[in-house]
Amino acid sequence: MSSLQSLRQLILADNKLTILPEWIGQLTLLTKLNISKNNFTLLPDSIGNLKQLTQLYLGSNQLIELPDSIGEFTHLTYFSIYKNQLTQLPESIGKLTELTELNISNNELTCLPESIGSLKSLNYLNISKNQLTTFPESIGNLTYLWHLNASENNLTILPESIGQLKRPGFIKK
């Protein structure tokens, strides 16, 4: 295990893994973790120790929730968690203030946390193919957002704050 501690990138995509071991949190120099296209249902809390992560790929798994410790990824710029079974996002997602791209499409989200409005660097947000009926008012705080895909949801109303988006180049609803 100690020989792996100098790893900067770990790519385990397209396997049949079901459990991410606790020791993953000891790989503190990782900047990129790709565990997409596996069979994970949960992530260990120790994943929050990966504070140097800039890219995190969790798409096409069976994740039912994200640990609060994801808020520790303060250097994260790219976060992909599409095609899982998430019904909610933790409030701690709002701590990812360096995040520029977030893909949470193809989940079972019924709402977004208010803290989503704290993602001040976000310019790409894909929340398509969920169960959303509206957005939180805080979405108007995403002043750098230029791509918002909210297609194939259950949207019935858009908040007034969405009109405050200054740079939307593409909004699909």
pLDDT given at position 59: 98
pLDDT given at position 168: 52
- 57 vs 71: CA distance, rounded Å: 15
Is 11 a residue whose pLDDT tops 50?
A: yes
CB 100 within 8 A of CB 121: yes
Is 173 a residue whose pLDDT tops 50?
A: no
* pLDDT, mean of residues 66-92: 97
- 165 vs 143: CA distance, rounded Å: 6
Tell me what the pLDDT averaged over the chain comes to.
93
Q: How many CB atoms lie within 10 A of CB 9?
A: 11
Task: Give me the helices (H) in 46-107, please.
Answer: none
pTM for the full predicted model? 0.92
pLDDT digits (tens, 9 = 90+) for 115-126: 999 999 999 999
Q: Which of 21-35, 126-140, 157-171 has the lowest mean pLDDT?
A: 157-171
Domain boundaries, the chain: 1-111
Percentage of the chain with pLDDT > 70?
Answer: 94
* pLDDT, mean of residues 20-36: 97
pLDDT given at position 68: 95
Nearest C-alpha neighbor of 58 from the set 91, 29, 27, 89: 89
CB 73 within 8 A of CB 56: yes
Is 171 a residue whose pLDDT tops 90?
A: no
* pLDDT, mean of residues 142-159: 93
CB 142 within 8 A of CB 119: yes
Instruction: Name the architecture of domain 1-111.
Output: Alpha-Beta Horseshoe (3.80)
Nearest C-alpha neighbor of 116 from the set 93, 87, 149, 83: 93
- 169 vs 148: CA distance, rounded Å: 9
